[in-house]
């Protein structure tokens, strides 16, 4: 996870120097001004490279300020070259609901009910097991105006797949199963399992015509036997929501099934509107 710029050690001296420069510029000599500018520039470049080159491994977020987008492993501009997203750069109070669906354990119906009540479009990223065991729910998602995206067939660590053939097979096999089950072509929206990825993965997905979606807001909701409380969920999901957020929830979560109606109501009261990923892509 990329951290904010640190202010300890040598960097602390730089920031102290900057404050002194601002308060009493007459005390600062030209040589020291040059030294300060050089060190500050090097520090900022180091931080920039950390953000840009952390484009391999696990997707990570660092929240800096409530109500504002987090700092992510890679910048929006960097991801854009691969048709990849983690949020929308906007001041408008819009958010994008997404659900990762690894298997069905009785919670999806309640989630769909809440989405229908609020006229909120969502994208469900499903795996092969989900389509095989819950085809009627997949069909319901489509019938109620939601998007079904590709979460791979077997949910492997895709960052370890170096060959184009193995990568394409994971996505292609799910496409085939989806079409056989629903009679429709699968939307080419992809989410890497567990957020594990590599730059070559992003390029492979793009070459297949896919758009890749990470997220800017999630919480630990995937442990079936260790579900968060309502208060824990609201603390994260209300406190960290921000304009343009792509929200990741899991359809296996009993907490999500229980709170989603109230959660959507609270977000609406905060002024947020729910949009589809189609609308996000059309604005980029």
**Shared-domain flag, residues 265 and 200:** yes
| The one catalytic residue among 77, 100, 113, 146 | 100
Token pair for residue 241?
């929501």
**Shared-domain flag, residues 44 and 159:** no
CATH code: domain of residue 251: 3.20.20.370
Count how many domains the chain has.
2
**Shared-domain flag, residues 42 and 128:** no
Q: Which of 40, 42, 79 is nearest to 59 (CA)?
A: 79
Q: Which of 86, 103, 120 is nearest to 251 (CA)?
A: 103
Token pair for residue 259?
């709170």
Widest CA span of the chain, in angstroms?
A: 75
**Shared-domain flag, residues 84 and 41:** no
User: So what's the pLDDT on residue 51?
Assistant: 38
Tens digits of residue pLDDT in 49-58? 433 334 567 9
Tens digits of residue pLDDT in 13-25? 444 445 554 565 5
- Residue 120 resides in a domain: yes
**Shared-domain flag, residues 148 and 241:** yes
Q: Is the pLDDT score of 4 beyond 70?
A: no
pLDDT band of residue 112 (cuts 50, 70, 90) is: very high
- Residue 193 resides in a domain: yes
Q: Which of 186, 161, 163 is nearest to 174 (CA)?
A: 186
Tens digits of residue pLDDT in 171-205? 999 999 999 999 999 999 999 999 999 999 999 99
Structural domain for 193, as ranges = 74-282
**Shared-domain flag, residues 49 and 134:** no
**Shared-domain flag, residues 13 and 123:** no
Q: Is 250 designated active site? A: yes
Residue 129 neighbours by CB under 8 Å, 6+ apart: 102, 103, 155
**Shared-domain flag, residues 27 and 141:** no
**Shared-domain flag, residues 213 and 147:** yes
Q: Would you say the pTM of this structure is higher than 0.85?
A: no
- Residue 65 resides in a domain: no
- Residue 40 resides in a domain: yes
Q: Tell me which of 15 and 7 has the higher pLDDT.
A: 15
**Shared-domain flag, residues 91 and 232:** yes
| The one catalytic residue among 92, 157, 250, 261 | 250
**Shared-domain flag, residues 107 and 29:** no
Measured CA to CA in angstroms, residue 117 lies from 7, 62, 145 at distances of 48, 33, 13
Q: What are phi and psi of 253, to 5 degrees?
A: -80, 120
């Amino acid at each position: 996870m990329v951290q904010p710029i640190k202010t300890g050690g040598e960097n602390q001296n730089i920031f102290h120097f900057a404050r002194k420069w601002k308060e009493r510029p007459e005390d600062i000599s030209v040589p020291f001004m040059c030294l300060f500018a050089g060190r500050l520039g090097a520090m900022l470049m180091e931080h920039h490279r950390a953000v840009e080159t952390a484009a391999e491994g696990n997707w990570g977020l660092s929240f800096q300020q409530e109500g504002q987008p987090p700092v992510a492993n890679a910048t929006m501009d960097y991801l854009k070259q691969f048709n990849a997203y983690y949020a929308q750069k906007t001041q408008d109070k819009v958010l994008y609901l997404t659900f990762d669906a690894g298997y069905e354990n009785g919670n999806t119906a309640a989630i769909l009910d809440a989405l229908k009540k609020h006229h909120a479009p969502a994208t469900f990223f499903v795996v092969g097991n989900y389509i095989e065991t819950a085809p009627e729910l997949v069909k319901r998602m489509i019938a109620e105006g939601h998007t079904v995206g590709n979460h791979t067939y077997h949910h492997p660590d895709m960052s370890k797949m170096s060959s184009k053939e193995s990568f394409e097979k994971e996505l292609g096999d799910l496409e085939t199963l989806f079409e056989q089950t629903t009679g429709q072509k699968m939307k080419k929206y992809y989410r890497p399992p567990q957020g594990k990825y590599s730059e070559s993965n992003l390029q492979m997905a793009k070459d297949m015509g896919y758009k890749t979606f990470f997220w800017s807001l999630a919480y630990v909701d995937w442990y079936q036997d260790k579900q968060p409380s309502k208060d824990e969920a609201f603390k994260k999901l209300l406190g960290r929501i921000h304009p343009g957020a792509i929200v990741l929830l899991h359809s296996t979560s009993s907490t999500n099934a229980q709170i989603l109606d109230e959660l959507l109501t609270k977000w609406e009261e905060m002024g947020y509107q729910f949009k589809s990923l189609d609308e996000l892509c059309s604005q980029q």
